[in-house]
């Protein structure tokens, strides 16, 4: 039997509130892991794993290796665009989150799955690639770059899903952001992920129609469970 994962759809939630929740769960998972290593067999606690889906109001987040100059707005124009800005502890550079985007935050104790960060990132990408295939969209990887891309071998490669994670003691936080019906205008105000020679896209743009976000979440959940050999509580 696979591992059980607690799934929560947080709906629309401010970035800081979601980050605070992630941090709380992340620290709880690590604390249980540390406690279990010291415990007698009869005292071992069940470990919990989480998959959080949500949508954020307009926000730009800068990873620990990112450059602030990749945000092309100042405080006044951020306010004008009704957007906020956060420096965070995931890998990667700057990205945008907003309405019409499915954001996923897996909080997993990888000691109970596999201890391979490269494989973990590939599984997140593969989940999105398999979901896109159900919509007849060819999602691909580009060597040396994270995330999922469309038109890899064309003169217009474009990113549809960003991936950025943080691990401590083989416990994960942060995750992926998939553009479903996202307002892509907001990407014009950053150098997305520090990449200035490639575009961004969304499922809506690729298909020429609005996409049911609830259906997308169900498909992502399904593929996540298959890849991680898990079930949901």
CB 161 within 8 A of CB 20: no
CA pair distance 152, 129, nearest whole angstrom? 13
Quick count: other Cβ atoms within 10 Å of Cβ 100?
Answer: 17
Catalytic residue among 108, 128, 193, 225: 193
Could you give the dihedral angle defined by the CA atoms of residues 151, 62, 72 and 157, in that order, rounded to the nearest 10 degrees? -10
What does 42-110 look like in DSSP terms, one character per residue? GGPPPP--EEEEEE-SSEEEE-TT--GGGB---HHHHHHTT-EEEE-SSSSSEEEE-TTEEEEEEE-BG
Q: Is 161 one of the annotated active-site residues of the chain?
A: no
Contacts of 91 (CB under 8 A, 6+ apart): 63, 64, 65, 164, 165, 166
Cα maximum dimension of the chain: 60
CA pair distance 141, 35, nearest whole angstrom? 39
What does 64-80 look like in DSSP terms, one character per residue? TT--GGGB---HHHHHH
Report strand pairing: 199-200 vs 230-232: unpaired
Which helix (H) or strand (E) segment is 226 a member of?
helix 213-227
Catalogue the active-site residues.
193
């Amino acid at each position: 039997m696979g591992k059980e994962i607690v799934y929560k759809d947080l709906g629309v939630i401010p970035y800081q509130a979601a980050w605070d929740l992630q941090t709380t769960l992340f620290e709880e998972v690590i604390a249980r892991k540390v406690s279990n290593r010291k415990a007698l067999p009869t005292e071992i606690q069940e470990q919990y794993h989480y998959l959080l889906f949500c949508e954020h109001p307009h926000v730009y987040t800068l990873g620990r290796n990112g450059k602030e100059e990749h945000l092309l707005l100042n405080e006044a124009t951020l306010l004008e665009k009704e957007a906020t800005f956060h420096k965070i502890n995931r890998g990667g550079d700057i990205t945008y989150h907003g309405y019409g985007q499915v954001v996923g935050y897996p909080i997993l104790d990888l000691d109970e799955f596999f201890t391979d960060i490269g494989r973990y990132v590939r599984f997140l990408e593969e989940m999105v690639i398999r979901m896109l295939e159900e919509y007849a969209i060819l999602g691909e990887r580009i060597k040396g770059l994270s995330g999922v891309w469309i038109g890899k071998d064309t003169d217009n490669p474009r990113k549809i899903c960003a991936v950025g994670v943080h691990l401590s003691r083989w416990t994960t936080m942060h995750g992926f952001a998939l553009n479903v019906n996202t307002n892509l205008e907001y990407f014009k105000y950053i150098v997305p992920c520090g990449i200035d020679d490639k575009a961004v896209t969304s499922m809506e743009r690729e298909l020429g129609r609005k996409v049911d976000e609830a259906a997308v979440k169900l498909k992502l959940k399904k593929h996540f469970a298959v890849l991680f050999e898990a079930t949901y509580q």
